[in-house]
Amino acid sequence: MRVLYFLSLTLLPFTAASQHSFGAQTRSSLATQPYDSGLFSPVEDLHNISPSQYTILQHPSFPAHSVRIKESKFCDEEVRAYTGYIDIEARHLFFYFFESRRDPDSDDVIFWTNGGPGSSSSYGLFMELGPCRVTGANTTARFDYSWNEHANIFFIDQPIGVGFSYADYGEQVDSTLEAARHIAAFVAIFFEHFTKFKGRPFHMAGESYAGRHIPVYASEIYDRNAALEEADMTPINLTSIIIGNGPQDFFEMMLSLYELQCGYHGYPPFKSISECVHLKQLVPRCRKRAQQSCKDTLDILDCSAAWEFCWDTFAGWIGERNPYDYRRPCTDVGGDSEACYPSLQNITVYLNQPHVQSILGIDPGHSNYTLNDNALNARFSPMDTFAFRAEHYTEALLERGVRALIYAGDTDYVGNHIMVERGTLKLEWSGQKRFANTPLRDWLVDGEIAGRTRTEGVLTFATVHDAGHLVPFDQPKRALELVNRWLAGEAL
């Protein structure tokens, strides 16, 4: 079965002035705070973190989890940056954290992850919305439209095997539900240690396949708040989820691809008339099989067969065009990201350089940076990939007052805005009818139409005009304006 990577790209810049090496050190020698499971001692101030060695963060409520963090002077000298690992016994998730450019002591906090499953969040960091962009194998530049303009922001390489994340003995994570427990523990430990972040509005964001991760991660964090209060910990102020070009329902994605290949919704037709007539006749069959085997019931064998049928029928490529942005050429019709975006190769070269890894604090023996983990993508649980109902988690969050911004670039093919909009209209929550009856309207940036939007209560859908799968890459100013208005609670 051919599975296309669903991506979100951003790169981490590195400047010559930020080349501070702290040397190759073992994990045990990096710890600066001994930990007594019977006594919790918070670090309190993030600025107490050392640039030369790791500080270990733990909490007795999460005995299987700890966090290693160090200051890492790179990417953007204007703000403080930190890197480290979430350690789950023998598994280690790598993360980056950047303070806000405006006011780190009061601005909101954003968690960002990319998709795949199996794509590193350095896509988002260095190519889309991070403080800097990799401009060559050895060069970076400050990025003026970074989302940390008004927010503190995490980028996390997950699941295990992606980016710099690794396992000591080959342990694996192959489902969103399992990964959610580790992310929720990390967030709780981090916020409990650093007093200034307690109670701060927290937004969980991602694009592409992360449209299936984020609702589950956010739900796990929301549900754990009661347990945090029982443990005398401050609940996480989960304020919103933000999803870009994310397919929460893969079968709706399949059916939207038929329409796009045949020239509906303003997309150029890629199929002949006879081919489109044939495909149209197969739409009811795909929809019926998906409903019976993957939605009304969860029969993995029948659901797998339904997926295979729909994929083979509707997932046709679009000639030599880029499946992430039909306006652009692509040298690989299968949708390989590095073929469609050659600059990604610079990120891999950059992050595999010893002096960069020294700054970041990469564990010795685990320095092979992986942009996309093909093995993880292949093994990720079938139930997670095409039968898992991520939209139910989004519905539950909406009912609990958690805001949701679901946006899409209007030139993306594989994670197209038609599928994304239909997904928002089908969400079953108390505001569903009012949302569906609210007409789309233009939203503007600098007096120009930036896209179309619809809002009802806590749910907003928006398109971004002239943007593909990687909205902040294609339209950085519009993307930043979108998120800044969202953080401020303003209408688009």
DSSP state of 147: G
Amino acid, single-letter form, for residue 395: E
CA atoms within 13 A on the CB side of 395: 13
DSSP state of 194: B
Q: Please give the Cα distance from 293 to 188 (Å, whole number).
A: 37
Q: Please give the Cα distance from 292 to 300 (Å, whole number).
A: 12
Q: Please give the Cα distance from 318 to 328 (Å, whole number).
A: 11
3-state helix, strand, coil in the chain (%, to 5): 40, 20, 40
Catalytic residues: 208, 412, 469
Cis amide linkage into residue 201, ω under 30° from 0: no
DSSP state of 439: P
Classify the phi-psi angles of 314: left when phi > 0, otherwise alpha if psi is within -120 to 50, otherwise beta.
alpha
Q: Please give the Cα distance from 151 to 480 (Å, whole number).
A: 11
Residue 286 C-alpha from the chain's centroid:
29
Burial class (CB in 10 A: 0-12, 13-18, 19+), 41: exposed
Would you list the DSSP string of 287-337? HHHHIIIIISS--HHHHHHHHHHHHHHH----TTEETTEEEEE-S-TT--H
CB 124 within 8 A of CB 135: no
The partner residues of 490 in beta bridges, in order of sequence, read: none
How far lies 78's CA from each of 103, 128, 135, 341, in Å? Answer: 12, 18, 18, 28
Amino acid, single-letter form, for residue 419: M
